[in-house]
Chain A
Amino acid sequence: MIDLAGLSPAALVASLMVAATPIMLAAIGELVVEKSGVLNLGVEGMMIIGAVCGFVAAVETGSPVVGLCAAIAGGMLLALIFAVLTQVLLSNQVATGLALTLFGLGLAAMMGQSYAGIKPPPTPRLDVPVLSDLPGLGPILFSHDGVLYLSIAVVFGVWLFLRQSRAGLVLRATGENHDAAHALGYKVVRIRIAAILFGGAMAGLGGAYLSLIRVPQWTEGMTAGAGWIALAIVVFAAWKPWRILIGAYLFGGVTMLQLNLQAIGVGIGVAYLSMAPYIVTILVLVIMSADRRRASLNAPACLGRAFHAST
């Protein structure tokens, strides 16, 4: 007999937001990277480096804020390697991105060896007085940590940047037709490097959210494919910032639902429940890209193509 009463909707929504935040941060960063015309498959590697850098820095200094900053720096540093290789030395983006993921996973495992099993300093919640005690809405809207609010602000900020600002227009133009952008005098390589660094920063922050806030602990390989899900969500979102939010929360929702279902003992194998979020992602992607025409309409036309200025 299943005890569905054990599923509290408010708690479920609150926890799915926490589960979705790392993916959302990494995905919104990758969206900006892809909008500039670069395909960085190293998201997973940048996330795990962010997770370990943030964890180590937070444990050593005792400050979660220092940890988060270190995670951003770590993600950017790894992204910088990718930027130099693909934008300056013109290496293949797909191969370099894959290598970045492998490199990041290995390096993180080495860095985090002596930190397994330690508890990081807790990150305070921003409990809004009175409001967070509201039944239902309180835990959903007013009782989270600062990074979660920041992630929503970043999505809004990216939307505003791409849609309203001139710099955002130039970035989109670069991803759309790099030769034309170059002919108009825009610095294609510089714009792309900046976008890649932003992507690295967001992936790093997303990784640290996992190790410092959501779990919070360091275990080897703890990102467990979150970076790949983030990449998939960018496609799911058809390169639109608000849909990143929907996609990430959908994935987070299925993840939390299956965990809750496991907890109350539904008669479905644990293995099937655990794979549910990934299967849902794959299904959604298949449905989304069934119409090849529509799928390619939103994709940046120069995505993944190397740019070499002719002189």
Chain B
Amino acid sequence: MTTLLDVRGMTKAYPGVLACDGIAFDIREGEIHALLGENGAGKSTLVKMIYGLVRPDSGEMRLGGTLFAPPEPRAALADGVAMVFQHFSLFEALTVAENIALGMDDPPNAATLVKRIRDVSTSYGLAVDPDRIVGDLSAGERQRVEIVRCLLQSPRILIMDEPTSVLTPQEVALLFRTLKTLAAEGTSILYISHKLEEIRILCDRATILRNGQVVATCIPAGETARSLAAMMVGSGLAVPEKHRAKPGETLLEISGLSMRSMSPFGTRLKDITFSLRAGEVLGIAGVAGNGQDELLLALSGEERSPPGTIMLASRDVGPLGPSARRYLGLLAAPEQRLGHAAAPDMSLSENALITAAVRRRLVRRGWSGLIDWPATDRYAHEVITAFDVRTPGVTNAAKSLSGGNLQKFVIGREILQDPRVLVVNQPTWGVDAAAAAAIRIALIELAEQGTGVLVISQDLDELMEISDSFSVIAGGRLTAPQPTRGATVEDIGLLMGSTGASDAAA
């Protein structure tokens, strides 16, 4: 196989960080090449440089032997480099065909385009309907739209940035078949991921990044997941130890909860029923956009629900708002760290105050109602020390923290309030492996102290690791909880896909 893309000495510095430090590797024709590394290892920056979104400070690239320095994505596309983004770059209010036309340099007329979309989607098994509005599509369908958009340009290199993080296991299998067909036809694929098993199954070669540098190049089929992880992290990881469930009395009881979503492309909750006992970790699996956000809003109190649908220790909390629910011990940490869980421009102290004011009595009682700043600072400090949040101090703005550190702060802030029930959504999304392990351990310990913990997550391995029982949310409906012990990732995956199975199988 001949070398298609040759990258030499790529360097890019941001204020305070060297994102890429002299990275060199090459991709061969028709090869599936993995780029493996933790968050912050420099994968995204490197790929953005290849795609022309970010200009390197130094270094050069050769594509098929000629110098390649795309000043903008359009130029990269013209040279045959296409990219499927991690956070989809689609326009929700537009149709599939319009989205695809936008991605093309010289789109044909509407009828021809629709025909070409149909051709590509049948020959690669990527079922998409050109006339549908993207906002109504599932994550898997959206990804197919992006891939079709790329394939219509007949790219020489297809870059996939964490493509499987939003897919069901069945959709992942479908995607891998498509990628292997493409590679067999001579298209090179640069596959970015931190999921080791996937890379072992799919990729021909792997380049491993750590702190902006290439630390190894290997053939993943010849490695174990453990050895790849060691190269990626550079040290061993603490593995959370699952506690023995000794469930106590029922703390939270949800019965027949139905609610419409307030966002235009949201999911309506339909007849959600489950109960959570003291000391139990209940996992809720599901592909993004199946009602997880709506469920969290209903439980946190941001959206009120009809009387009698949400009972906390036999008390009806449905009509209560977030502060009243917090006072009674029902706490929640939403998925979106910046802007929902934390106010980006406010200091860590202020952010600690926002949710802990009621339970930690950070506001002086009586007529004055003034904020007790010394106590607030102490509380923020307590969170920082207990959860090893790396930050210069409590006066730093929330947005100055890295994703993993802020997530530790946001979860820790709830845990130290001694909740009776804690609801978390995607607790380790976009968090590096060490921080993720710390958060999981903290959640398990919290349950051992008698708190009921509800973990909403798309990461099945995470749910297998920490939950005692799990349900699957799909299309706004929740399956009956079943014990995690004895279940496999494939079982959960089948449940996740059950309502969306028609399109996955098509």
B-binding segment of A102-110, A168-176, A246-254, A255-263 = A168-176
**Contact A177:B102 (CB < 8 A) given known A184-B73, A296-B264:** no
Q: List 25 A-B contacts (CB under 8 A).
A: A166-B107, A169-B101, A172-B91, A172-B94, A173-B91, A173-B98, A173-B102, A176-B92, A176-B93, A177-B90, A177-B92, A180-B89, A180-B91, A183-B73, A183-B89, A185-B72, A185-B77, A293-B260, A293-B261, A297-B264, A298-B93, A300-B93, A301-B92, A301-B93, A310-B54
User: Contact: B91 with A177, CB < 8 Å?
Assistant: yes
**Contact A170:B102 (CB < 8 A) given known A297-B264, A311-B54, A311-B55:** yes
The answer to whether the Cβ of A179 comes within 8 Å of any Cβ in the partner chain is yes
The answer to whether the Cβ of B85 comes within 8 Å of any Cβ in the partner chain is yes
Determine the chain B residues whose CB is within 8 A of the CB of A292 once the complex forms: 262
- Distance to closest chain B CB from A8 (angstroms): 44
Among A185, A294, A310, which residue has the most Cβ atoms of chain B within 10 A? A185
Per-residue 0/1 for B66-84: is the Cβ within 8 Å of any A Cβ (1 yes, 0 no)?
Answer: 0000001111010000000
With A176-B91, A297-B93 known, 18 other A-B pairs at CB within 8 A are A166-B107, A169-B94, A172-B91, A172-B94, A173-B91, A173-B98, A176-B92, A180-B88, A180-B89, A180-B91, A183-B53, A184-B74, A185-B73, A185-B77, A294-B264, A297-B264, A298-B93, A301-B93
B interface: dominant SS: loop
- Distance to closest chain A CB from B72 (angstroms): 5
A180 to B123, CA, bound (A): 27
- Distance to closest chain A CB from B395 (angstroms): 26
Determine the chain A residues whose CB is within 8 A of the CB of B75 once the complex forms: 185
User: Contact: A293 with B72, CB < 8 Å?
Assistant: no
The answer to whether the Cβ of B186 comes within 8 Å of any Cβ in the partner chain is no
A301 to B135, CA, bound (A): 12
Per-residue 0/1 for B466-479: is the Cβ within 8 Å of any A Cβ (1 yes, 0 no)?
Answer: 00000000000000
User: Contact: A180 with B90, CB < 8 Å?
Assistant: yes
A181 to B99, CA, bound (A): 10
Determine the chain B residues whose CB is within 8 A of the CB of A310 once the complex forms: 54
- Distance to closest chain A CB from B162 (angstroms): 16
User: Contact: A173 with B73, CB < 8 Å?
Assistant: no
**Contact A183:B85 (CB < 8 A) given known A173-B94, A293-B264:** yes
Determine the chain A residues whose CB is within 8 A of the CB of B93 once the complex forms: 172, 176, 297-298, 300-301
A301 to B91, CA, bound (A): 9
User: Contact: A184 with B98, CB < 8 Å?
Assistant: no
Which residues of B (235-289) have their CB < 8 Å from a CB of A? 260-264
The answer to whether the Cβ of B125 comes within 8 Å of any Cβ in the partner chain is no
Determine the chain A residues whose CB is within 8 A of the CB of B53 once the complex forms: 183
User: Contact: A177 with B89, CB < 8 Å?
Assistant: yes
Chain A interface residue count: which class?
20 to 34
Per-residue 0/1 for A216-233: is the Cβ within 8 Å of any B Cβ (1 yes, 0 no)?
Answer: 000000000000000000
Leading 9 A-B pairs by shortest Cβ distance: A185-B74, A180-B89, A297-B264, A176-B91, A185-B73, A183-B89, A173-B91, A177-B91, A296-B264
Which residues of A (295-311) have their CB < 8 Å from a CB of B? 296-298, 300-301, 310-311
Determine the chain B residues whose CB is within 8 A of the CB of A311 once the complex forms: 54-55
Q: Which residue of A lies closest to B93 (CB)?
A: A176
A294 to B102, CA, bound (A): 26
Q: Which residue of A lies closest to B78 (CB)?
A: A185
Determine the chain A residues whose CB is within 8 A of the CB of B101 once the complex forms: 166, 169
- Distance to closest chain B CB from A304 (angstroms): 16
Determine the chain A residues whose CB is within 8 A of the CB of B260 once the complex forms: 293
Q: Which residue of B lies closest to A174 (CB)?
A: B91
Q: Which residue of A lies closest to B105 (CB)?
A: A185
Which residues of A (126-172) have their CB < 8 Å from a CB of B? 166, 169-170, 172
Determine the chain A residues whose CB is within 8 A of the CB of B77 once the complex forms: 185
The answer to whether the Cβ of B500 comes within 8 Å of any Cβ in the partner chain is no
Per-residue 0/1 for B407-439: is the Cβ within 8 Å of any A Cβ (1 yes, 0 no)?
Answer: 000000000000000000000000000000000
Q: Which residue of A lies closest to B51 (CB)?
A: A183
A interface: dominant SS: helix
The answer to whether the Cβ of B9 comes within 8 Å of any Cβ in the partner chain is no
- Distance to closest chain A CB from B297 (angstroms): 14
Determine the chain A residues whose CB is within 8 A of the CB of B264 once the complex forms: 293-294, 296-297
A296 to B73, CA, bound (A): 31
Q: How many residues of B contact A (CB 8 A)?
A: 26
User: Contact: A184 with B55, CB < 8 Å?
Assistant: no
Determine the chain A residues whose CB is within 8 A of the CB of B102 once the complex forms: 169-170, 173, 181, 184, 186
Determine the chain A residues whose CB is within 8 A of the CB of B98 once the complex forms: 169, 173
Determine the chain A residues whose CB is within 8 A of the CB of B91 once the complex forms: 172-173, 176-177, 180-181
- Distance to closest chain B CB from A23 (angstroms): 26
A176 to B101, CA, bound (A): 15
Q: Which residue of B lies closest to A296 (CB)?
A: B264
User: Contact: B262 with A184, CB < 8 Å?
Assistant: no
Determine the chain B residues whose CB is within 8 A of the CB of A298 once the complex forms: 93
User: Contact: A184 with B94, CB < 8 Å?
Assistant: no
Per-residue 0/1 for A174-203: is the Cβ within 8 Å of any B Cβ (1 yes, 0 no)?
Answer: 001101110111100000000000000000
Determine the chain B residues whose CB is within 8 A of the CB of A179 once the complex forms: 89
Per-residue 0/1 for A35-70: is the Cβ within 8 Å of any B Cβ (1 yes, 0 no)?
Answer: 000000000000000000000000000000000000
Determine the chain A residues whose CB is within 8 A of the CB of B54 once the complex forms: 310-311
- Distance to closest chain A CB from B74 (angstroms): 3
Per-residue 0/1 for B339-366: is the Cβ within 8 Å of any A Cβ (1 yes, 0 no)?
Answer: 0000000000000000000000000000
Determine the chain B residues whose CB is within 8 A of the CB of A170 once the complex forms: 102
Q: Which residue of A lies closest to B104 (CB)?
A: A184
Per-residue 0/1 for A267-311: is the Cβ within 8 Å of any B Cβ (1 yes, 0 no)?
Answer: 000000000000000000000000011101110110000000011
- Distance to closest chain B CB from A185 (angstroms): 3
A169 to B110, CA, bound (A): 12
The answer to whether the Cβ of B103 comes within 8 Å of any Cβ in the partner chain is yes
- Distance to closest chain B CB from A163 (angstroms): 11
Q: Which residue of B lies closest to A300 (CB)?
A: B93
Residue among B72, B94, B103, B261 making CB contact with A176, cutoff 8 Å = B94
A173 to B90, CA, bound (A): 9
Q: Which residue of B lies closest to A169 (CB)?
A: B98
- Distance to closest chain A CB from B92 (angstroms): 7
Q: Which residue of B lies closest to A170 (CB)?
A: B102
- Distance to closest chain A CB from B360 (angstroms): 34
Determine the chain B residues whose CB is within 8 A of the CB of A183 once the complex forms: 53, 73, 85, 89
Which residues of B (29-74) have their CB < 8 Å from a CB of A? 53-55, 72-74
**Contact A184:B92 (CB < 8 A) given known A166-B107, A169-B98, A169-B102:** no
Q: Which residue of B lies closest to A185 (CB)?
A: B74
- Distance to closest chain B CB from A296 (angstroms): 5
A298 to B94, CA, bound (A): 11
- Distance to closest chain B CB from A295 (angstroms): 9
Among A183, A297, A300, which residue has the most Cβ atoms of chain B within 10 A? A183
Q: Which residue of B lies closest to A172 (CB)?
A: B94
User: Contact: B90 with A184, CB < 8 Å?
Assistant: no
- Distance to closest chain B CB from A263 (angstroms): 45
- Distance to closest chain A CB from B13 (angstroms): 12
Determine the chain B residues whose CB is within 8 A of the CB of A166 once the complex forms: 101, 107
Q: Which residue of A lies closest to B73 (CB)?
A: A185
A20 to B260, CA, bound (A): 39
- Distance to closest chain B CB from A262 (angstroms): 43
User: Contact: B55 with A293, CB < 8 Å?
Assistant: no
